[in-house]
Amino acid sequence: MAKNKKSGSKKQSNKSKGGSDLARQAAASSASAKKQSQSNQGGKKQGIFSYIKGVRQELSKVVWPTREELTTDTIVVIATVIFFSLAFWLIDTGFLAALKGILGITLS
């Protein structure tokens, strides 16, 4: 049982190390953002070019869907839209029929 307690404390110390790593990364990220904002105060041209460079960097990080994933997701979206369209139409038709029966109204 003593071994289990020791291994538990090791796990906790690893978690605390991970937390400090995150704090270090956040601090480094914050520092680099401050440096970048200070260097970009040179003018509009530099700001526009650095903005476009940043956009390209972020787009390179994007994980784009494969053709198969895109096709599957598109089919799911279309099927969901059709399902809910039919459901709302049926509910609307039911309410209309109920109102006609209760109130005796007609629509021209």
Supply the range of the domain harboring residue 107.
Answer: 67-108
In a domain, 88, yes or no: yes
In a domain, 108, yes or no: yes
Provide the number of structural domains found in the chain. 1
In a domain, 11, yes or no: no
Q: Is the pLDDT of residue 97 over 70?
A: yes
pLDDT tens readout for residues 41-56: 555 667 899 999 999 9
Q: Is the pLDDT of residue 3 over 60?
A: no
C-beta of residue 52 within 8 angstroms of C-beta of residue 60: no
In a domain, 60, yes or no: no
pTM over 0.85: no
In a domain, 97, yes or no: yes
- What is the rounded CA–CA span in Å between residue 70 and residue 78? 12
- What is the rounded CA–CA span in Å between residue 93 and residue 85? 12
Q: Is the pLDDT of residue 73 over 70?
A: yes
Q: Is the pLDDT of residue 78 over 80?
A: yes
Count CA atoms within 13 Å of residue 14 on its CB side. Answer: 6
In a domain, 99, yes or no: yes
In a domain, 50, yes or no: no
pLDDT tens readout for residues 13-72: 444 445 566 666 666 666 665 555 555 555 566 789 999 999 999 999 999 999 999 999
The mean per-residue pLDDT over the stretch 96-105 comes to 88
C-beta of residue 40 within 8 angstroms of C-beta of residue 46: yes
- Contact partners, residue 40, CB within 8 Å, separation at least 6: 46, 47, 50
In a domain, 20, yes or no: no
